[in-house]
Amino acid sequence: MTPEGNAPATYAEDRPKLSSRDYDVVHDRLESWLAEQIGPGSKPTVSALQIPERNGMSSETVMFDGTHDAGGTSVTRSCVARIAPEPSAVPVFPAYDLELQFRIMQIVGESSEVPVPPTLWFEHSGDVVGTPFFVMERVDGVVPPDVLPYNFGDSWLYDASREDQARLQRNAVGILAGIHAIDRPADELAFLQLDRPGDTALTRHVADLRAYYDWVAADLPSPLLERAFTWLRDHWPDQEGPSAISWGDSRIGNVLWHDFAPTAVLDWEMASIAPREVDLAWLIFIHQFFEDIAIKMGLDGMPHFLRLDDVAATYTEMTGYEPIDLEWFIAYSAVRHGVVMRRVTERSVAFGEAEMPDDPDDLILHRGLIEAILDDRYDFHAGRVSDPG
């Protein structure tokens, strides 16, 4: 869809402005920058910028149509720019490696059938819009909503037939199978290796989460998450399966869909080298997280969807690899998400959208779910707290 109107930027005026960028300036600088990327005589023009209503949770997103002259022919591309957040925006993560995202999308696009948006240009410096950014082509599709979550009802996925829901689930597992099957020389994937202490990909992955938690918690530690890290150590898997390219944020809400098939896999900022189970468990857990909220609200939810045993069986059928200790990895996903949710909630407090609770563990939306896991009251296969306590 092409933005309407002549103003360089269009976005909801009543939403919290989590960025201090002047998007009119961004528009003009993007236009000048594109002239350098495309070349002399290209005379690019940029349409009114579209700023998504919920922009700013992670990298900022700017959408526009870019038109330029190519040998006398006018060429128009629908584009998306992903921009690293400003420090003043209380970013969710301590650092944003946009070059990593750009490179892994290129590799996935070149080496698999997994659909990713075509990457166009990358800007390392902050000279153009204040922070690094990259531009990719815009791909059509719809996403299962997060607000309100798709499993609450009245969403295209909830209202779909069981057959279509199963088709989307199978395609979601197929995305992971495709990513994990990519075989590139180790030196080409070195940029995905986490620079943390540890002898294995899993120990480095957990060490990276711990470092992130230490940054988030700062001078206000979370007793619950501290306890959770101890639980993870005490229940460590007896063996670690083979590592692969890990998407990192492998949830169905990070995929554009058409007719229950993926058109583009998005959001690669958490990509790394990790055991395959990291992605599989995250796919399962994020749905369980939404189901936990639905249950508390007295809603039916989608208890038949993205169940551990079904996902594992489909992945084994597709790859020949049987996932190991998925229960532990789902617990690990709950802890990973707990750290992220604490930062997201603190961010809401910083922008006046929420109040700071007396108990720092109340910053974690799924506190009860994590407590149930630690207290052995969680049924990983059903995705339910087995004993509400």
Take residue 360 and report the two structure tokens written for it: 């720092």
Question: Phi/psi of residue 328, each to 5°?
Answer: -60, -40
Residues whose CB falls within 8 Å of the CB of residue 365, separated by 6 or more in sequence, listed in order: 293, 341, 345
Take residue 59 and report the two structure tokens written for it: 């990298």
19 pLDDT band (50/70/90 cuts)? low
As to burial, measured by CB atoms within 10 angstroms (0-12 exposed, 13-18 middle, 19+ buried), residue 187 is exposed
Q: What is the mean pLDDT of residues 260-275?
A: 97
Q: At what angle do helices 326-350 and 223-234 cross, to 10 degrees?
A: 160
d(CA 106, CA 333): 27
Residue 22 contacts residue 9 (beta carbons within 8 Å) = no
Model confidence over 107-162: pLDDT tens digits? Answer: 999 999 999 999 999 999 999 999 999 999 999 999 999 989 999 999 999 999 99
d(CA 158, CA 173): 19
Residue 60 contacts residue 82 (beta carbons within 8 Å) = yes
259 pLDDT higher than 90:
yes
Eight-class DSSP state of 160: S
Query: Which domains can be identified in the chain, with CATH numbers?
Result: 9-137 (3.30.200.20), 150-385 (3.90.1200.10)
302 pLDDT higher than 80:
yes
The confidence score (pLDDT) of residue 172 equals 98
Residues whose CB falls within 8 Å of the CB of residue 303, separated by 6 or more in sequence, listed in order: 291, 382, 383, 384
Residue 44 contacts residue 67 (beta carbons within 8 Å) = yes
First CA to last CA distance, the chain: 50
Model confidence over 206-223: pLDDT tens digits? Answer: 999 999 999 999 989 999
Residue keyed to tokens 């080496």: 111
d(CA 186, CA 192): 10
7 pLDDT band (50/70/90 cuts)? very low
Q: At what angle do helices 223-234 and 201-217 cross, to 10 degrees?
A: 170
372 pLDDT higher than 90:
yes
Model confidence over 76-86: pLDDT tens digits? Answer: 999 999 999 88
Q: Is 313 helix (H, G, I), strand (E, B) or coil?
A: helix
DSSP-H helix ranges across the chain: 23-38, 98-111, 162-180, 201-217, 223-234, 276-296, 308-319, 326-350, 367-374
Annotate 298-337 with b (16+ C-beta within 10 A) or e (fewer): ebebbbebbbbebbbebbeebbebebbbbbbbbbbbbbbb
d(CA 56, CA 90): 9
**Separation in Å, CA 336 to CA 67, 80, 340:** 41, 28, 7
Give 363-366 contacts, CB < 8 A, sequence gap 24+.
363/222, 364/222, 364/224, 364/225, 364/338, 365/293, 365/341, 366/289, 366/292, 366/293, 366/334, 366/337, 366/338, 366/341
d(CA 132, CA 36): 16
The confidence score (pLDDT) of residue 129 equals 93
Residue keyed to tokens 């990513």: 179
Take residue 46 and report the two structure tokens written for it: 């940029």
Residue 326: is the preceding peptide bond cis (ω within 30°)? no
Q: What is the mean pLDDT of residues 281-293?
A: 98
pTM confidence score: 0.92
Take residue 176 and report the two structure tokens written for it: 């992971």
Q: Which residues are catalytic?
A: 249
d(CA 291, CA 151): 7
Model confidence over 38-62: pLDDT tens digits? Answer: 998 999 999 999 987 654 456 789 9
Residue 59 contacts residue 132 (beta carbons within 8 Å) = no
